[in-house]
Amino acid sequence: MALKNYVKEGQKLPLFGVGPFIVYGISMVALIGIVLLGHVFKIGILGNPWIIIFRVVGAVLIVIGIIIWFIGALKSGMDDNIADNKLKTDGIYAWVRNPMYSGCWIAIIGITLMWHNYWMLLLIPVEWLIMTITLINTEEKWLLNLYGEEYAQYKKRVNRCIPWFPRKK
């Protein structure tokens, strides 16, 4: 099953939004960190048993991230909601408002951990900030303008980037 790449007349939101820019941004932060910290400066590199711990946790996060992205992108029916200008709040969207971005971010954290470098842990909040600031200044404004109070209430119940149990209405 693939995304339906179409634009319906009257559709108010873009099908892909700012997603590619967010993913490229956080990917570049990770790549720069890997190159600078792991290969240029060669600082923060851990030995055994940390190598195994970081790589196992990294592999688990990569798998979790891919699953979250897959469900949000291909199994949620989100593209139909966008085309019909309906706010999606069920399924994975009841756990996280941006599962596709979150899934990519979690997978990128996993990839970063594979380098078993404790300095790269500092990249995680930087990536989160890039994602959060971009979403607040783009998609959240669009959605609030389009859905009003319905979206405002949804924001109170569901986390932006980190999948978690939804708060009660």
Instruction: Provide mean pLDDT across the span 115-124.
Output: 97
| 54: Cβ contacts below 8 Å, ≥ 6 apart | 46, 113, 114, 115, 116
Cβ neighbours, 10 Å, residue 15: 16
Token code pair at residue 16: 């892909």
Question: Is 74 within 8 Å of 1 (Cβ atoms)?
Answer: yes
3-state secondary structure of 117: strand
pLDDT tens per residue across span 13-31: 655 678 888 999 999 999 9
pLDDT band at 36 (very low <50, low <70, confident <90, very high): very high
pLDDT averaged over the chain?
90
Question: Is 81 within 8 Å of 143 (Cβ atoms)?
Answer: no
Question: Is 91 within 8 Å of 111 (Cβ atoms)?
Answer: no
Q: Whole-prediction pTM value?
A: 0.89
Question: Is 115 within 8 Å of 31 (Cβ atoms)?
Answer: no
Percent of the chain with pLDDT over 70: 90
C-alpha–C-alpha distance, residues 86 and 8, integer Å: 13
Q: What is the pLDDT of residue 76?
A: 93
> What does the longest C-alpha to C-alpha distance in the chain come to?
58
C-alpha–C-alpha distance, residues 95 and 71, integer Å: 12
3-state secondary structure of 12: coil
C-alpha–C-alpha distance, residues 83 and 9, integer Å: 9
